[in-house]
Amino acid sequence: MINLKINGLNVSVDKGTTLLEAAQSIGFPIPTLCHKEGLTPYGACRLCVMEIGEGDRAKLVTSCTYPAEEGLKVRTASRRVLRARRMIIELLLASSPQSKTIQDIAAAHNVKQQRFRQEYEDCILCGLCVRMCKEQMMAGAIGFRGRGQDRSIGTPFDIKSEVCRLCGGCLYVCPVCSLRCTYNQPDKAICGACANLSPPCVEKEPFDDMMCYMEPCVACEIK
Amino acid sequence: MNPTDIQDIVEKSKQTRGGLIGMLQDIQARYSYLPEEALSYISEHTNRSLVDIYGVATFYKSFSLTPRGKHLCSVCLGTACHVRGAPMIAEEFERQLGIKAGQTTKDKEFTLETVNCLGACALGPIVVVDGQYFSNVKTSKVKQILSETREGLDKVEVKTDERIFPVTVSCARCNHSLMDTGYLIDDNPSIRVTVSFERKHGWLRLSSLYGSYSVEAEYEIPLNEVLDFFCPHCHSELSGASECAECGAPMVPMIVRGGGIVQICSRRGCKGHLLNLGGANI
Ligand code: SF4
Ligand code: SF4
Ligand code: FES
Ligand code: FES
């Protein structure tokens, strides 16, 4: 067991537990976006920041990727943490203002405005869909391409993937997709899954071998 | 694309336990780009998912997914070259070739790319065409560079070049002189650099006579060892973009006083030398 202090409370957790899990296990609410149980932590959104250490050596870390250490002193809501988190929320809002998930997080933190140039990106590159596809769907159909400003999510060569099973898992986990991956805007589709579904309930045998996560049902919406 | 080539590259990499990037580099060297089928082949035969390979291939700028032209023009847009007007040079190339940076001309002759620092800042703006350095490039020179490239850049190679004369060189990064007047080789001041190999790090002195291969070093250097060269003043690595035409090892660029660049092969014992005086014979 590893003993550490979170916001002054003594906590013991198993080795390998992350700070996020430790804090959540004793009931501290930590906002997360790119973290999902069952998927490997990725540390992309930085929302789950916590402050560790003391004095001059205190620093911010992403708790979803930081393993608990013996004797560590952790603060989940210090002034520094809250400031950093507000900034991150503002940045998220600046890139994808239309996501309900992000709006909810902003509301919960009382962020009502952001001070950056407003963009209307769809993807925030959280990587949830990539991990979902690879780790849970065992498909590996979509992934990151390019880098820096040009980084994007999609299939190799932007053509319909041969390994995609059209399960819709990627759309299901996406925090901004709810708006974007709709059948009537195929050019906005990330994996081409929905565009290629060609309404499954119309053309395919009833959902025998298919798991459909899509909400709302694309097929019905189109009819 | 020839499937057996790809097969060889993949097999070789399996034997040497090489990684993905090594394979991609070999394929790129062979075809000058990464054909789609090659990536699929690697994915099928090495247990990697295509999307991961594609991710790596699109991450690094040196990989290209579209066929490249016969000649590669790299225009440096690094900070030093930038302030000396490199963006104008790049535009001039784009205008002359009728393509944008990153594209290839229709006749598949030229590929234009911009790079961030080629390690010869003191001579900027720098343009490298097929491994040849052009220094202090002006927009008025662009046309000439292109026409010379079309005709074939005539390299001044040691084998055909019988001249022997002393050169005075300086670091391509910091422009500090590399000459060591207190240490003579061939009765001339030697060129002092720092080299490292096999965890050893020490000085190396080269003859400043162009065409002479006399060297002296702090450590015994095994023949055919490829060395890393450093400037003894700014400690940056002396490395360029080109490879030795004879053995494929990286070439080490140094600035010649009076204009131009001399490049020497970094492999001990290899006689690959290249001298571009006055900005590549222009
Ligand atoms: S729909 Fe295709 S791309 Fe999306 S998670 Fe499923 S297999 Fe992966
Ligand atoms: S498409 Fe959605 S889930 Fe995938 S990285 Fe972008 S925001 Fe995240
Ligand atoms: S939840 Fe930890 S970085 Fe996104
Ligand atoms: S900035 Fe152009 S060579 Fe360094």
The 8 Å CB, 24+ separation contacts for B157-162 are B157/B245, B157/B273, B157/B274, B158/B211, B158/B271, B158/B272, B158/B273, B159/B271, B161/B211, B161/B275, B162/B211
Mutation pick for ligand 4 pocket among B81, B83, B136 (CB with most ligand atoms within 8 Å)? B81
Number of domains observed in the structure of chain A: 2
Q: Could you tell me the sign of the dihedral formed by the alpha carbons of A201, A205, A208, A209, in that order?
A: negative
For B82-111, write each residue's pLDDT tens digit: 999 999 999 999 999 999 888 888 888 888
Is B248 within a domain?
yes
B54, A157: Cβ pair inside 8 Å?
yes
Atom of ligand 1 nearest to the CA of A191: 3
Q: What is the ipTM of this complex?
A: 0.71
Please give, rounded to a whole number of angstroms, the shortest distance from the CA of B247 to a CA of chain A: 32
Query: Using CB atoms, which residue from A146, A147, A155 is nearest to B51?
Result: A155
- Pair (B141, B93) in one structural domain: yes
- Pair (A152, A206) in one structural domain: no
Domain coverage including residue B123: 71-151
Residue where one domain finishes, among candidates B96, B125, B151: B151
Please give, rounded to a whole number of angstroms, the shortest distance from the CA of A120 to a CA of chain B: 24
- Pair (A57, A92) in one structural domain: yes
The rounded Å distance from CA B227 to ligand 1 centre is 48
Is A178 within a domain?
no
| Cα B226 to chain centroid, rounded | 15
Residue B258: which residues within 8 A CB-CB, separation 6 or more? B168, B277, B278
B39, A143: Cβ pair inside 8 Å?
no
CA distances from residue A24 to A27, A63, B113 in whole angstroms, order as listed: 5, 11, 50
| pLDDT in the model for residue B57 | 94
Is B208 within a domain?
yes
Mutate to test the interface with A, among B51, B52, B60, B65 (most CBs of A within 10 A): B51
Question: Measured between CB atoms, does B54 come within 8 Å of chain A?
Answer: yes
Domain coverage including residue A160: 128-173
Is B206 within a domain?
yes
Is B64 within a domain?
no
- Pair (A216, A107) in one structural domain: yes
Instruction: Provide the 10 A C-beta neighbour count for residue A25.
Output: 12
d(C-alpha A196, C-alpha A207), whole Å: 16
- Pair (A136, A196) in one structural domain: no
Question: Measured between CB atoms, does B53 come within 8 Å of chain A?
Answer: yes
Is A37 within a domain?
yes
CATH number at residue A133: 3.30.70.20
Is A162 within a domain?
yes
For B208-256, write each residue's pLDDT tens digit: 877 777 888 888 888 888 888 998 888 888 887 777 777 888 888 888 8
Instruction: Provide the 10 A C-beta neighbour count for residue A31.
Output: 17
The rounded Å distance from CA B118 to ligand 4 centre is 5
- Pair (A137, A211) in one structural domain: no
- B93 neighbors B137 (Cβ within 8 angstroms): no
Is A103 within a domain?
yes
How does DSSP classify residue B225? P
- Pair (A146, A103) in one structural domain: no
Mutate to test the interface with B, among A152, A157, A161, A191 (most CBs of B within 10 A): A157
- Pair (A90, A162) in one structural domain: no
Measured between its terminal Cα atoms, the distance across chain A in Å is 57
* Residue in A closest to B58 by C-alpha: A146
- Pair (B16, B101) in one structural domain: no
B59, A142: Cβ pair inside 8 Å?
no
- Pair (A192, A153) in one structural domain: no
| pLDDT in the model for residue B14 | 81
The rounded Å distance from CA A104 to ligand 4 centre is 47
Q: Read off the tokens for A88.
A: 């991150």
- Pair (A51, A149) in one structural domain: no
H or E element: which one contains B270?
A: none
- Pair (A159, A201) in one structural domain: no
- Pair (B77, B107) in one structural domain: yes
- A196 neighbors A160 (Cβ within 8 angstroms): yes
B55, A155: Cβ pair inside 8 Å?
no
- Pair (A88, A155) in one structural domain: no
Q: Which residues of chain B have pLDDT under 70?
A: 1, 152-165, 258-259, 276-282
Burial of A133 (0-12, 13-18, 19+ CB in 10 A): buried
The three-state secondary structure class of B96 is: helix
* Residue in B closest to A138 by C-alpha: B49
**A34 C-beta closer than 6 A to ligand 3:** yes
CATH number at residue A12: 3.10.20.740
Question: Which pLDDT tens digits describe chain A residue by residue (223 residues)?
Answer: 999 999 999 999 999 999 999 999 999 999 999 999 999 999 999 999 999 998 889 999 999 999 999 999 999 999 999 999 999 999 999 998 878 889 999 999 999 999 999 988 778 899 998 999 999 988 888 899 998 888 988 888 888 778 888 777 787 788 886 534 444 444 544 444 444 443 433 343 433 333 333 434 444 443 3
- Pair (B147, B175) in one structural domain: no
- Pair (A96, A20) in one structural domain: yes
Question: Measured between CB atoms, does A143 come within 8 Å of chain B?
Answer: yes
- Pair (B263, B206) in one structural domain: yes
Q: Read off the tokens for A171.
A: 């759309």
Residue B278: which residues within 8 A CB-CB, separation 6 or more? B258, B259, B260
Question: Measured between CB atoms, does B47 come within 8 Å of chain A?
Answer: no
- Pair (B55, B110) in one structural domain: no
d(C-alpha B163, C-alpha B176), whole Å: 26
Is B157 within a domain?
no
Burial of B34 (0-12, 13-18, 19+ CB in 10 A): buried
Question: Measured between CB atoms, does B34 come within 8 Å of chain A?
Answer: no
- Pair (B115, B32) in one structural domain: no
* Bond into B3 cis (ω within 30): no
Residue B167: which residues within 8 A CB-CB, separation 6 or more? B208, B209, B210, B256, B257, B262, B275
Number of domains observed in the structure of chain B: 3
CATH number at residue B79: 3.40.30.10
B58, A145: Cβ pair inside 8 Å?
yes
The 8 Å CB, 24+ separation contacts for B83-88 are B84/B124, B84/B125, B85/B125, B86/B124, B86/B125, B86/B126, B88/B139
Is A198 within a domain?
yes
Is A169 within a domain?
yes
- B214 neighbors B223 (Cβ within 8 angstroms): no
| pLDDT in the model for residue B277 | 58
B49, A163: Cβ pair inside 8 Å?
yes
